[in-house]
Structure formats: C-alpha cells, structure tokens
Amino acid sequence: MRYCLILIGLLFSFSGLAQTPDKKLVQFSGVIINLDSNTVVPYVTITNKSVRDQVFAANYKGYFSFVAHEGDTLQFSAVGYKREGIVIPRNLADKRYTVMVKMKQEIINLPTVRVFPWASLDDFKHEFLTMKFADDDLAIASKNVSRESLAAMAANLPRDGQEMQNLNFQNNHTRLTNKNMNQRMSNPLLSPFAWGALIQQIMQGDKSRDKGN
C-alpha cells in the first residue's frame, strides 16, 4: 500500500512537471532563518504556486531541498512569521539554486477573552445570591480592636522589648517592696503587733501586783 501511494505521488509530480516542458528543472535548496535573531525557523511550509500549489516542508533545522523549475514562484509560510516569496531565476548556468530565506517574526494580538468559573447562567445566579460581601474598612477596624481579637493576639504574639522592660521594672519593684516589708516584720520594734503584745503583758503584770497587795 505504501509503495502504491509513493507511485501515485510520483505520477502526480511528473504530471505537474510535464505541464511545463519549456521550463528547466532545478534542484532548489536552502535554509530558512529568523531575520531578527539569525536563528533557524523549523518546519516551514513551502508552496510552489506555479505547479498546482505543490507543498513541501523544511526540516527542524530549517533546511529544504526539492526539484522545481526555472521561473517558479515559491511561498514560505510559518506560524508567527510573515509570508515570504521567492522566484527562481531563469537561464541558470547550473541546475542548482541555493538561497537563504529570511523570515520576519509577526506579532499577532489576539482579542481579550474572559473566562468565568460558572458553567451556566443558573450557577452564576446561585453563586450571586449566596455571595457574602466583604466588610468595609470601619467594620474590619472594629473587629481588629474587639476584646476577643486583642485577647487572641495577646495570647499568640510575642512580647516586644518595651513590654519586657516594663514587666521587669514591675517585678523588681514588687520584689523590693516585699523585701522591705519582711525586714520590718522581722524587727519587733517596728512591728505594731509586738508593741500590742508588750502593752498587754505590762497591763496583765500590773493587775497581778494589785491582787497580791
């Protein structure tokens, strides 16, 4: 089957060539490069407009080679590049013609397309009706300074340097106050309870002397 297809293709090629008996055959070869970057343009489609729009293709290195006629018009086309045309000159001294085709890159601006996440209009209506609107700035600020928010931040956020300094100062003040109170309580002369007990003992001693007399 494959050989039959090849044979049919050769017959079509020979029939196309037979329609131009006055033109000489030429081995048309070349390479296709980018005009701006001088890099190869791979897989360019080459159409022979003079012979039933025969189509050829360059390889991945931008190289092509096929049989054509003198005076044929060749068109080079590729996605993202402007089309270029070349006419093979007549009366060539050699049966070969080699060219370097330079194709200019073309920028195509496509229209903007918006993709919606809803499959149908009913889904959009359902999502719209159940949508929750975001709070405004005042409502957000009120939530941030609420008692619950401040308590949660105080429990999770680490203390800064100013807060640690104030805490250390308060602890030192409390420790010194307790130390002074303990020193006062250890000295009986400075204790009001010791003075009360002493006065009570003196009064009880005076009463005992009066009973003895």
Could you tell me if residue 170 is inside a domain? yes
Query: What integer pLDDT is reported at residue 18 of this predicted model?
Result: 46
C-alpha to C-alpha distance for 116 and 123, rounded to whole angstroms: 11
pLDDT per position as a tens digit, 50-103: 988 899 999 999 999 999 999 999 999 999 999 999 999 998 888 999 999 999
Query: What integer pLDDT is reported at residue 73 of this predicted model?
Result: 95
Could you tell me if residue 11 is inside a domain? no
4 pLDDT band, cuts 50/70/90, is very low
The tokens describing 211, both together, are 């009973």
pLDDT per position as a tens digit, 145-173: 888 888 887 778 777 778 788 888 888 88
Top-confidence residue, 7 or 116: 116
Q: How many whole angstroms from its chain centre is CA 104? A: 31
The tokens describing 61, both together, are 């290195």
Residue 64: count of CB within 10 angstroms of its CB: 20
Of 83, 75, 81, the C-alpha closest to 37 is 81
Residue 30: count of CB within 10 angstroms of its CB: 19
Q: Which of 32-36, 46-50, 148-152 has the lowest mean pLDDT?
A: 148-152
**What is the phi/psi pair of residue 7, to 5°?**
-65, -40
Task: Calculate the alpha carbon distances from 122 to 49, 126, 127, 133 in Å.
Answer: 53, 6, 9, 20
Residue 3, pLDDT above cutoff 50: no
Residue 47: count of CB within 10 angstroms of its CB: 17
C-alpha to C-alpha distance for 141 and 192, rounded to whole angstroms: 55
Note whether 71 and 50 are within 8 A (CB): yes
pLDDT per position as a tens digit, 89-138: 998 888 999 999 999 998 878 888 888 788 888 888 888 888 876 677 88
Torsion of CA 206, 207, 212, 213, to 10 degrees: 70
- pTM > 0.85: no
Domain boundary among 77, 103, 129: 103
Could you tell me if residue 115 is inside a domain? no
Task: Calculate the alpha carbon distances from 65 to 46, 86, 100 in Å.
Answer: 10, 14, 12
183 pLDDT band, cuts 50/70/90, is low
| Domain boundaries, position 199 | 137-212
Residues 98 and 151 placed together within one structural domain of the fold: no
Could you give the percent of the chain with pLDDT greater than 90? Answer: 32
Domain count, the chain: 2
Query: What integer pLDDT is reported at residue 205 of this predicted model?
Result: 67
Query: What integer pLDDT is reported at residue 208 of this predicted model?
Result: 59
Residues 96 and 160 placed together within one structural domain of the fold: no
CATH number of the domain that residue 44 is part of: 2.60.40.10
Domain boundary among 78, 103, 128: 103
Query: What integer pLDDT is reported at residue 210 of this predicted model?
Result: 59
Query: What integer pLDDT is reported at residue 188 of this predicted model?
Result: 60
Residue 17, pLDDT above cutoff 50: no
Domain boundary among 84, 103, 122: 103
Could you tell me if residue 91 is inside a domain? yes
Q: E-assigned strands of the chain?
A: 25-34, 45-48, 54-57, 63-69, 73-77, 84-87, 96-103
Helices (H), the chain: 2-18, 121-129, 137-144, 147-156, 161-186, 192-212
Residue 81 has what DSSP assignment? B
